[in-house]
Amino acid sequence: MKIFKKIAIYYLIMALLVSAAYSFAPRASAAPELALNCGAAVLADMETGALLYSFNPDAKMHPASLTKLMTAVVALDAYQNGKAALSDVVTCSPNIYSDVDGDASSLTLAAGERITFEDLLYCVIMTSANEPCNAVAEHISGSISGFIDEMNDMAASLGCTGTHFSNTHGLSDSNNYSTARDLMLILRKAMSIPLFAKITATEEYTVPATNMAEERVLKNTNNLIRERSTYYYEYAKGGKTGYTEAAGFCLASCAQKGDVHLISVVLKTNSVVLSDGTTQVQSFTETKRLFQWGFSNFSYKTVLSTMRIVREVDVELGNGANKVALRPAEPIILLIDNSADVSKIEYTVRLNTPEGETLTAPITAGEELGEADVMINGVSYGTVKLVANYSVELDKAKYISSQIQNTLKNGVVRFIIIALILMFVAYITFIILYNVRRRQKKKAADELARQRIEAIRAKEALTTGLSFEEIEKKQELTGRYRRR
């Protein structure tokens, strides 16, 4: 009894420390406070992956058998890509126990035992047996180390930033770690694979007899889905359990109530001896509390409808309109805190134009013109594409004028135009000077001709005794006669 009392006191102290630490933890929601007895936890929307609750979400911790989530994801990815078939018969090698402790969870597979790939998947996901993970790894990648490399590559591709795997099963290793946020991403990926969702929701499964063993009856370790369990939760849809001394009790799970689909990860919980002498595993109780909190405080709301005018923006060269209204291309319907006031929505609009430039006609109704970040009370709720609410036709006269103006702004064009103007001015100047000189020459020639005529008349007057008038008249008559 003294030992049990010490254990109870120890767990009580741990619970108080965790609760104290939680009061300083960042919250992903304005919903009522929730203090969980765990080392880290997240609750997210299964559809979007958006966090609804977080406590130490990025703390690197031992994931225990939650590691098997990634083992399953890589194996099922190979299955979906045709690298493996469920009917494949896998012959177990002696390597499957190379890094498995004697006290670890086991299916007692033997070297040389032949078992189907499908049955191995049930062993990995449902009962959390360790050596089947290595059997799967060798079948998919040819070696355990090669498979682990694929696990780490897959983690990176899913956006996991605090995760590294050093084995396929999750037995304690300082180089095998993850975070609550990353494990949520991995489970979300796993649940998107129909076969994983089917296996993880199965309560019992019978592995047929093999060449070296009788049939085995498997029972799902996730008591949230077992109807006869005291931890049964009617909305639970599956998940994965884990436990090692270093990791504590861990659970990654998902649940659905109505149209709300949640995903949770709870790490480093304990088992507590209750007053009636029964033992309570807190990974199940805290996960259930987390789901209940989520379903009670979150629901789907239309944050932004397609009828909402986000902003009017200026439009250049429009025919009869110099602005266009922008609306969302799609509605934003999100799982958000029930207390969130969607009427206090704010936007940060970005147009699909270079910075400092405005939109230019023509614009067609429904044309994508930009995007907007949506905020409510300082909390981001995503980004939405913005489209034109109506069309704006092009004013051709304004367009031609703008083209001319834009052309004139071109340095080369301006140089050519100035050069042409100077050439034209020079040409006109040349023509004027030429005509002036021509008139001067003609005037000089006329004056010379007049002087010659007068000289002739003077000479004839001297010889004939006629006056200038008589001579001029005579010359006129002579000219008429000659013309006839």
> Do residue 229 and residue 356 come from a single domain?
no
pLDDT band at 267 (very low <50, low <70, confident <90, very high): very high
CB 382 within 8 A of CB 374: yes
> Do residue 365 and residue 269 come from a single domain?
no
Q: Calculate mean pLDDT across residues 153-174.
A: 96
* Max Cα-Cα span within the chain: 174
pLDDT of residue 477: 64
CA distances from 48 to 73, 236, 300 (A): 19, 19, 12
The residue among 396, 368, 389, 384 whose CA lies nearest residue 324 is 389
pLDDT band at 24 (very low <50, low <70, confident <90, very high): very low
pLDDT of residue 247: 96
Residue 391 φ then ψ, to 5°: -90, 150
pLDDT of residue 156: 98
pLDDT at 26 over 60: no
pLDDT at 16 over 60: no
> Do residue 429 and residue 380 come from a single domain?
no
CB 178 within 8 A of CB 160: yes
Comparing 31-45, 59-73, 242-256, 314-328, the range with the smallest average pLDDT is 314-328
pLDDT band at 305 (very low <50, low <70, confident <90, very high): confident
pLDDT band at 257 (very low <50, low <70, confident <90, very high): very high
Joined tokens for residue 254: 């998902």
Residue 322's Cβ-count burial label (10 Å; 0-12, 13-18, 19+) is middle
pLDDT at 484 over 60: no
> Do residue 282 and residue 352 come from a single domain?
no
Cα gap 170→248, rounded to integer Å? 12
pLDDT at 207 over 70: yes
Cα gap 78→479, rounded to integer Å? 120
pLDDT of residue 252: 98
> Do residue 393 and residue 404 come from a single domain?
yes
Q: Which of 229, 262, 297 is the last residue of a domain?
A: 297
> Do residue 230 and residue 113 come from a single domain?
yes
pLDDT at 426 over 60: yes
CB 265 within 8 A of CB 242: no
Percentage of the chain beyond pLDDT 70 is 86
pLDDT of residue 405: 66
Residue 88 structural domain: 2-297
Q: How many structural domains does the chain have?
A: 3
Cα gap 120→116, rounded to integer Å? 6
pLDDT at 22 over 50: no
Cα gap 140→133, rounded to integer Å? 11
> Do residue 17 and residue 117 come from a single domain?
yes
pLDDT at 342 over 90: no
CA distances from 151 to 94, 137, 428, 461 (A): 22, 10, 84, 132
Joined tokens for residue 140: 């998919």
pLDDT of residue 475: 65
Residue pointed to by tokens 């397609």: 306
CA distances from 46 to 152, 219, 231 (A): 23, 26, 22
Joined tokens for residue 483: 């013309």
Cα gap 196→181, rounded to integer Å? 20
> Do residue 345 and residue 388 come from a single domain?
yes
pLDDT band at 468 (very low <50, low <70, confident <90, very high): low
pLDDT of residue 453: 75
Q: Which of 375, 408, 441 is the last residue of a domain?
A: 408
CA distances from 429 to 286, 293, 426, 473 (A): 98, 92, 5, 45
The residue among 33, 38, 74, 7 whose CA lies nearest residue 266 is 38
Q: Which of 275, 297, 319 is the last residue of a domain?
A: 297
Cα gap 409→389, rounded to integer Å? 33
Percentage of the chain beyond pLDDT 90 is 53
> Do residue 85 and residue 100 come from a single domain?
yes
CB 98 within 8 A of CB 68: no
> Do residue 106 and residue 245 come from a single domain?
yes
Cα gap 218→129, rounded to integer Å? 10
Active-site residue set:
65, 68, 128
